[in-house]
Amino acid sequence: MPETNGANCNEQDQVCGQMLRKRSEHRAKTNPTNTHCFETQVLEQFCMTSSIRGISKIYRSDSRVLKNLWLSYIILMISLLLFSCIKIVREYLEYNTTQQNQLIIDAPSPFPALTVCPHQVFSERAVESWQKGTMTPNQFVQRIRNAAKTLYQNDHKDHAAKLLNYETRRVYYQTLDYQQVLQLSHEMEEIFIFCKLKTKIGIYSGDKTTCGVDIKLYTSPEMFNCFTLTVKEQYRLAAETLTMYVQFPTPSIPAMYQDTAFMQDPLNYALGGVMGIHEIGTIPHNLHTQIEPDRFVQISYKTIETRQYSTPKDPCKPEEELLSNPTLKIKDLDFSYNYTYHDCITKLHVDTILEKCDCIFGLGPRPETPNNGTRQFCGYMPEIQSIDDENWKAFVIRARCIRKAKESLEKAHLLGEDAHCIRRCKEQMFETKVSNTAWTPKLWELVWLAEQLEACAVIDHKDQTLDSQLVKARQVLEAYLATSSEEQVLQHMERLKISMKTLPTNTDMKGHYKGRFASIMVKRASNNTQLQEERPSLSMYGLVSRIGGSCTLYLGLTCAFLIEIVEFFFNLRRQEDRRPKQVVINGIATKINTDMPPIPTEEHNNSLNPWERKAAENDRVPGANIEHAI
């Protein structure tokens, strides 16, 4: 009996499997899309409704030629679109910028700094210093010529010729001790007689203490002692005009000290001085305005503010961040200056030469003050007795080291390997216009005006002055108020023993004393500021706009395509959920459509009218109800 039951079960399973296969075949014939590629169905629906130009034409066209034509068009347009997008992205990654000019009305910038250097670098004090043992220019050039003669006699003619090029004031500066250099050149009092500062709220005149300016020493191998004038901070925005009355001494130096010296410099010899306008707190570089004696020179300047756009290719940092960091200050001898990109690059070169060649490069920010017994300037010229002299060997080694270091630094700069020097995002430049005319005041007028201004300053600060100074100041003012002619002024000056301290005692006060004095006026062209601002030629907004325009031009592609993509995957997921499930019955894989309506129960059938019951029976497929089939 159990065997009979087992046989019946196997027969029933076979019948069930056959009925399921028949049902599956029937469903495939009546609705093939339910069993075949659901992805194809969703893709066709996507192509029919896509907003991309030409996609729907491929699906709807009845001609194979037209289908291929539209397909070729789409492939070509996609290729052009990709090419255009690559070009646009590459252009963006180049970070090119454009400069836009803008005039900011009534926005005065701080009054700039002025640096003045006399062309005649040696003062009257130089003679005293040479008499005390400081190496004179003649002794210096004789040292070079002796060394060149020694080299020439030992068949080193090329070295001898090159050595003669060292016969300059620049090398002489680097050969001396630093303190000796300061004693040879001029002092501030020798250059500046007095000045006058005109602001929006008043006029300040006198010497540096009463004129509203600060004067700072700047020394260089080219010009020896120079002086930088900076308007005091409280007057910088209101300052309109700064007038300086200066003298450029031409001391009479005995021929025994420099009659044949500096034969490489005669083209640079001149009277008067040179000056430049630059940003406050920075090392002066562009000294290109020549000041001729006996001339009234007017320099009108316009402020140009540059704002750089920071990019990964050419980054910059805010001015406040760079200037407030004390570690970024540029040290030059005994002074420190504000950070600039140019000085940072030069400092990098100086530090590299200092490390590799153990000498201080004189033509840049000098991190140390050279003295006897410590590091010397790279241009230091030792005394050479023979070609076997240790001084000569050290000199040659140092010269070769400097040349190689400069070549490697130049190469590194071209390759961008000194990127740790970063630019300031905001800097100031000054565009100047220079005009001049003859200026021939009498000497007593300058002296008398200087004494008058000094007397006024003493009286204004009487609490801080000595009684003797106060008495003399009152006498000067009383004499000034009592004079009505040139002769009376000269008499009062003689009585009060007033004379120019830096002039010879036998100077004719009635004369013009030609070739010595000059008047320099520096004034704002206007209170406006010229702004030069860098902006990206292709911003992120421009990048997106150009790519979007290319998509629309070639394919008619818009942002709605993103929603179409979402819709495509949504429909694909939906069709996956409706796919017939595969079951294994009796070792046979069979798909059952789970999307079919449920089989009505007997109670449901009894509730239907005869017509509805007949329709429901027709909808039922044999084999769908496994229990009924069994």
CA-based nearest residue to 278, from 351, 340, 194, 363: 340
At which residue do the structure tokens 């001029």 appear? 186
Q: Using CB atoms within 10 A of its CB, is residue 217 exposed (0-12), middle (13-18) or buried (19+)? A: middle
State how far the Cα of 13 lies from the Cα of 7, in Å rounded to an integer: 10
Q: pLDDT at position 593, please?
A: 54
pLDDT in tens, 235-256: 999 999 999 988 888 777 777 7
Print the SS3 string covering 39-76: HHHHHHHHHHHCCCCCHHHHHHCCCHHHHHHHHHHHHH
Q: pLDDT at position 256, please?
A: 72
Say if residues 307 and 534 touch (Cβ distance below 8 Å): yes
State how far the Cα of 365 lies from the Cα of 462, in Å rounded to an integer: 42
DSSP track, 282-346: S------EEE-TTEEEEEEEEEEEEEPPP-SSS-EE-HHHHHS-GGG-EEETTEEE---HHHHHH
Q: pLDDT at position 589, please?
A: 53
DSSP track, 334-381: TEEE---HHHHHHHHHHHHHHHHHSSB-SSS--SS---TTSPPBTT--
| High-pLDDT (> 70) share of the chain, % | 78
Q: pLDDT at position 15, please?
A: 52
Q: pLDDT at position 513, please?
A: 55
CA-based nearest residue to 180, from 116, 216, 224, 143: 224
Which residue numbers in the chain have pLDDT < 70?
A: 1-39, 208-209, 259-260, 266-267, 371-373, 413-419, 461-466, 498-515, 577-630
Q: Using CB atoms within 10 A of its CB, is residue 402 exposed (0-12), middle (13-18) or buried (19+)? A: middle
pLDDT in tens, 262-278: 777 766 778 889 999 99
Q: pLDDT at position 477, please?
A: 79
Question: Each residue of 411-433: b (16+ CB within 10 Å) or e?
Answer: eeeeeeeeeebbbbbbbbbbebe
Backbone angles phi, psi at 372, to 5 degrees: -65, 130
521: which strand partners? 243, 298
pLDDT in tens, 316-361: 899 888 888 888 899 998 899 999 998 988 888 898 899 899 899 8
Which residues neighbour 68 within 8 Å (Cβ) at sequence distance 6 or greater? none
Q: pLDDT at position 372, please?
A: 56
Token output for 67: 């289908």
Residue type, 612: E
241: which strand partners? 198, 523
Say if residues 433 and 524 touch (Cβ distance below 8 Å): no
Task: Read off the pTM.
Answer: 0.73
